[in-house]
Amino acid sequence: MQSNRHHIINSTALFMLAIITAQTTACQQPGNDTPQQPIVHSVPEENIGIAIFAGGCFWCTESDFDKVPGVISTTSGFIGGTVANPTYKQVVVGNTGHIEAVRIEYDKSITTYAALLEAFWPTIDPVFKGGQFCDIGPQYRSAIFYLNPEQQALAAASKAALEASGRFEQPIATEILPATQFYSAEEYHQDYYLKNPLRYTFYRSNCGRDDRLQQLWEDEH
């Protein structure tokens, strides 16, 4: 199923052309906004932990996690599918089995995997099965990919605690899955919110992501 992300951009092409001179298909073309520069951290290798989360549009998940203290770097990519070295154009159709996800490197001396789980939940709609926000399809569903039994146990406990909290009447749809091969997305997707701030802000606003998050997690935002 084609992402609604494209429909939002294409249906408002005249508006976009008025503020930026670029292609209107935000996900398929590199932008030409004035880019910001990502912050580079230097951390000893033994202090680096890895986590993988899927929260719909990987531009947004990457942006959200870059704000979390202790996160060193984020990489947008694809995981969970059956096709080797998938391209964005293959994944977006929804036939490869992959999910848009973000691979996170974090400083274990500053934060923990449990803390990243707590940071993850308020960035998603955990009761929506069909994707996330305006992006519809299995390639946009929310998931936690564990890399070892400890992460699996922590993820399961975190999900169970959310279910037991009574915050939501519907069951938590976010899946907990074993990590498979993670493939980095094309370079123009990396740090998209920094490279193309106007396009990114326009997409995120029109997707209704923050409005829905405010509704779901009012006390967290």
Each of the 221 residues of the chain gets a pLDDT tens digit; together they read: 445 554 444 444 434 433 333 333 334 445 556 556 555 557 889 899 999 999 999 999 999 999 999 999 999 999 999 999 999 999 999 989 999 999 999 999 999 999 999 999 999 999 999 999 999 999 999 999 999 999 999 999 999 999 999 999 999 999 999 999 999 999 999 999 999 999 999 999 999 999 999 999 987 75
27 tagged catalytic? no
pLDDT for position 200: 98
pLDDT for position 219: 77
Residue 30 lies inside a defined structural domain of this protein: no
Residue 36 lies inside a defined structural domain of this protein: no
Residue 14 lies inside a defined structural domain of this protein: yes
Domain that holds residue 182: 4-25+44-220
Residue 50 lies inside a defined structural domain of this protein: yes
Angle between helices 197-207 and 58-66 (to 10 degrees): 110
Q: How many residues does the chain have?
A: 221
Biggest alpha carbon–alpha carbon distance for the chain: 51
pLDDT for position 42: 76
Residue 39 lies inside a defined structural domain of this protein: no
Q: Tell me how many domains the chain contains.
A: 1
Q: In b/e form, how buried is each residue of 2-39, taking b as 16+ CB within 10 angstroms? A: ebbbbebbeeeeeebeeebebbbebbbeebebeeeeee
Catalytic residue among 27, 57, 134, 207: 57
CATH code of residue 152: 3.30.1060.10
How far apart, in whole angstroms, are the C-alpha atoms of residue 16 and residue 43? 40
- In DSSP terms, 50 is beta-bridged to 105
Residue 32 lies inside a defined structural domain of this protein: no
pLDDT for position 15: 41
Residue 162 lies inside a defined structural domain of this protein: yes
